A and B are shown apart, each in its own frame.
Chain A
Amino acid sequence: MRIQSPLSRQWHIILGVLPICLAIVVYGLVSRARHQENPKDKLTPGLKQFVEGWQRVMGRTSREMREYTVVEGDTIQTIARRFGQSDDIVAEIQPTNGKDLVDWDDSIRALEVGEVLKVPVEVGVPFLQQFLILDTLQSLKRLASGIAVGAGVALLFGLLMGSFTEMRALFYTSISALARIPPLAILPIIFLIRGVGEDAKIIIIALGIFPTMAMDILLRVQALHKELIIKAYTLGASTTEVVFKVIFPQVMPGLIHSIRLALGPAWVFLIAAEAIASEAGLGYRIFLVQRQLGMNIILIYVVWIILIGLIMDVGLKAILLWKYRWAEGK
C-alpha cells in the first residue's frame, strides 16, 4: 500500500460494505448464541422478532366503532356478517337508545327498525397513522424547521459579521459565548418559558446549531478574495449589491456544507427534546419502547434514522452538484 494510491470503483464499494456485513454477521452469531441459552432473550432480537417489531411499528390494523341503522329483517348475525365479523362481537355492539342488547340471562333482545347501533370494525389504519410514518413525519418536521430557523439566522449573522467589521465587533463575543453553552443544559429553560410544545423543540435545534454555523459562515466570508469585492465596486456595485450579489451567492455552497455538518448535532437535540416531552416522534418512540425492553423496535428505528441521515446527506450533495457546480470545480 502506497500513500493515497488510486483505488478502483469496485474495490471502493466492496471495502465500504465490508464492515457493515461483518457487523451484521457478528450480531447474528451473538443473537443466536443468546437465544439458544434463553429463547425469550429480548436484548439481541433475532430475525423473527424484527419482523414482529416491523409489523408493530407499521401498525397493520386497529378497532374502530361504526354507527349502523337497523333495517327490516336485520339480526345480530346479519349485521356482524355485513361488517365481516364473527357472531361473538355481539358483546361489543353498543346500542345508542339505552336498552341493553344482552339481558341478564344471556338472551338477545329483538332489534328495533331504525335504531342506531355502534358496531366494532377492524380497519386498516390510515397510512399516516402508522407509527413509523407518523413518528418520521413529526421528527422531520421539527428537524427541518429547526435547521431552517438556525441556518437562516446563522446566515444573516454570518453575512453581517463577515461583511461589516462593526457588526463583527458587535456580535462576535456574544455568539462565541453562546457557542459555549451545551444546548441541552438550557433545554429546561426553554421548556419553562415556551412550554413543551413544538416551538420549544424547534428552538433547541436552532439554538444548538446556530452559533457554530454563524462562525463557519463568517470564516467563509472572510476567506473570499478581497479582489472580487473591490472588482464589484469598480463595476459600480453599491455595498448592498456587493453583499447580495457577490458575497451571498459565493457563501451559499458553504452554507450547504455547513448544514451537512450541522445535521449530526441537530439530530442529537431533536432526539433529546423528543425523549423528554412529546407525543410522537422517532426519539419519543425509542424512549417509550425502551421501558418495554423493545430492543427490536429500537434497532429498527436506529437503522431507519441512519437511512434518513444518509438520504439527507446525499440530497444536499446532489443540490451542491446541481446548483453550485462552479463551487465544486466540476
Chain B
Amino acid sequence: MTASTQTDIISPDRDDSQVLALRCRGVTQSYFDTRLGRQRVVLNGIDLDLHPGEFCSVIGPSGCGKSTFLRLILGSEMPKDGEFSIMGRMPAAPNRDRGIVYQKYSLFPHLRVIDNVAFGLELEQIAFAMKWIWYPGYLVKRKHFVEQAMEFLGKVGLAEHAHKYPHQLSGGQQQRVAIAQALIMRPQILLMDEPFGALDPGTREEVQHWLLELHAKEKNTILFVTHDLEEAMYLSTRILLLSQYYEHSPEGRREGSRIVADIVPRPQGIERHHWKTHPEFSLRLGRLLQMGFRSTQLLKKSEFWMSHQHSISPTT
C-alpha cells in the first residue's frame, strides 16, 4: 500500500469537521509506570474520523488501550497530547454530548427501571430540589417524561418490567435498559465499553440482534469497544484494530498503540441481518482469525509485527 491510500482512509476532510461525529488528531495518552519508573505511552497518536450514523468497533489485543481510548473520548480522562472534537465541538468533562454503556454498573441500583430510563429527562426538566417542595408543575412534568421513558422502554421490549429494580432483571435486560437510558438523551455519540462482555452466549446474541435493529432505526453514531472479533464483524459498519506490537526497529522499542487496520467488515450488497448467516461471514472471520489481516487492510504494516501471536486474536 502506498502512503496515498493511507491518507485516503484517514484523511481529514477539513471542511467536513463540523459534521463529523468524532474527529481525533494525534490523540496520545501515557501513564506513569512505577515499575519502569517513567511515563509509559499507551496510545500513540490516534487519528480518526467518524461520520454520523457509523457503528464503529474497536478491537485489539489486551492492554492495547481500547478502554483508555474510550475514556478519553468520554472525557473522564484528558489526553496527554492531541485533540479531538465531537460534532465540531471540543469536549471537556463527561456531559450530555456522549452517552456511555459499561459492561456492568450502568444502572442506578436505587431507582426502578422506569426511573433509571427517565433519570436524564428528570434532570433536564425538573430543577434541582423542586421535587421535594412539590411545586404544582412537578406531577404534570413527571407524567410527561415518564410517558416518554415508557415509550423508550417499549422500544427495548421491557415495558412490563418498568417497576422492577435493576437487580431483579437478567444481565441482558439490564444492558438493554442501560442502552435505553443513554439513548433517551439523544447523545451525539454512544460509547459502549464491552457492553455484552458479561452476558452468556445466548443472551448475547439476542441483545446483539436487538442492537442492530435499534441502530438501523435510530442511526446513532456508536463507538463500540469489544474483544470479540466475531461480535465486531457482525455488528459494525467499520472495524478499527489497535495494536501495541511493533516490529523491532533499530532505533529501539516503540511504544503505544496505533490504529493498524481500518476495515469495512461487510461487503456491499449483503443485508445486515443476513450477514451473520452468510457464508462470506465465516469465511472472512476464519481468515482473519487464522492469518490475520491481509496486508491490503493494514495501514502501517511495515511498523507492526503482525505475526505476533496476540496481534490480532484479541482474547481478553
A residues neighboring B (CB under 8 Å): 225-228, 230-238, 240-241, 244-246, 249-250, 324-327, 329
Contacts and interface: CB of A to CB of B under 8 A. Distances in A.
Interface string B104-147: 11101110000000011001100011000000000000000000
A224 B15 CA distance: 44
B106 A231 contact: yes
Q: B-side binding surface: helix, strand, loop or mixed?
A: loop
Contact of A228 (B76, B105, B129, B185): B105
The 6 closest A-B pairs by CB, nearest first: A235-B120, A225-B105, A233-B94, A227-B105, A326-B165, A236-B96
Contacts of A240: 128
Contact of A246 (B95, B108, B120): B108
Nearest to B193: A227
Contacts of B105: 225, 227-228
Contacts of A230: 74, 76, 94, 100
A240 B98 CA distance: 20
- Of B74, B99, B119, B129, most buried by chain A (CB within 10 Å of CB) is B119
Contacts of A228: 105-106, 108
Contacts, number: 74
A325 B165 CA distance: 9
A241 B123 contact: yes
B167 A326 contact: yes
B182 interface: yes
B187 to A, nearest CB: 7
B222 to A, nearest CB: 14
A131 to B, nearest CB: 42
B191 to A, nearest CB: 9
B110 A235 contact: no
A228 B104 CA distance: 10
- Of B100, B110, B167, B182, most buried by chain A (CB within 10 Å of CB) is B110
Interface string B178-220: 0001100101000000000000000000000000000000000
A242 to B, nearest CB: 10
B281 interface: no
Interface string B154-174: 000000000001110000000
19 contacts: A228-B105, A228-B108, A230-B76, A230-B94, A230-B100, A231-B102, A232-B108, A233-B93, A233-B95, A235-B181, A235-B182, A236-B95, A236-B120, A244-B129, A245-B119, A246-B108, A324-B110, A326-B109, A327-B110
A326 B99 CA distance: 25
Interface residues of B, number: 29
Nearest to B103: A227
A231 B128 contact: no
B134 to A, nearest CB: 17
A232 B74 CA distance: 13
Contacts of A237: 123
A167 B106 CA distance: 27
- Of A231, A241, A250, A327, most buried by chain B (CB within 10 Å of CB) is A231
Contacts of A249: 110
A232 to B, nearest CB: 8
A164 to B, nearest CB: 15
B96 A234 contact: yes
B102 A227 contact: yes
Nearest to A249: B110
B156 to A, nearest CB: 16
B100 A231 contact: yes
B110 A326 contact: yes
B182 A234 contact: yes
B195 to A, nearest CB: 12
Nearest to A324: B110
Interface string B69-85: 00000101000000000
A7 B246 CA distance: 60
B121 to A, nearest CB: 9
Contacts of B100: 227, 230-231, 234
Contacts of A245: 119, 123
A329 B120 CA distance: 25
Contacts of A326: 109-110, 165-167
- Of A230, A241, A324, A329, most buried by chain B (CB within 10 Å of CB) is A230
B109 A235 contact: no
Contacts of B96: 234-236
A106 to B, nearest CB: 76
B95 A234 contact: yes
Contacts of A325: 165
Nearest to B110: A249
Contacts of B98: 234
A324 B74 CA distance: 32
B137 to A, nearest CB: 18
A249 B109 CA distance: 10
B109 A234 contact: no
A232 B119 CA distance: 8
A114 B96 CA distance: 88
Nearest to B132: A244
B136 to A, nearest CB: 21
- Of A226, A232, A237, A327, most buried by chain B (CB within 10 Å of CB) is A237
